[in-house]
Amino acid sequence: MGRAILLSEISGSIWKINCKVGDVVESGQDVIVIESMKMEIPVVSNVSGTVVSIFVVEGEMVDEDQKLLELNTKD
């Protein structure tokens, strides 16, 4: 098993977190939604795995390239 860290591609506010620690997510799944300039931008997992850490909370402001969550990957 490997580890993957998902990063924010933009700065904005965490609008919604669609997973919790222990959830299994699939590649292509929306895991977090960031609001930036009144637009909702989904953060899509590029790997399948189990959520082991979530580094942000809803309403938190994030910067580009900030760590959002960590997955144990299936491969």
Q: Tell me, yes or no, whether 1 lies in a domain.
A: no
Domain membership of residue 20 as a residue range: 15-55
Evaluate whether residue 61 is within a structural domain.
no
pLDDT in tens, the chain (75 residues): 799 999 999 999 999 999 999 999 999 999 999 999 999 999 999 999 999 999 999 999 999 999 999 999 976
Establish if 70 belongs to a structural domain.
Answer: no
Residue 43 in domain: yes
| pLDDT, position 35 | 98
Does residue 21 form part of some domain? Answer: yes
| 3 assigned to some structural domain | no
Q: In this structure, is residue 9 part of a structural domain?
A: no
Q: Structurally, how many domains does the chain consist of?
A: 1
The set of residues, in sequence order, having a beta carbon less than 8 Å from that of 45 and lying 6+ positions away, is 6, 25, 26, 27, 28, 29, 31, 71
**Which DSSP symbol is given to 44?**
E
pLDDT at 75: 63
> DSSP code of 38?
T
pLDDT computed for residue 9 by the predictor: 94
What gap in Å lies between CA 27 and CA 38, rounded to an integer?
26
Distance of CA 62 to the CA centre of its chain: 11
Dihedral (CA of 59, 60, 62, 66) sign: negative
**Which CATH number characterizes residue 25's domain?**
2.40.50.100
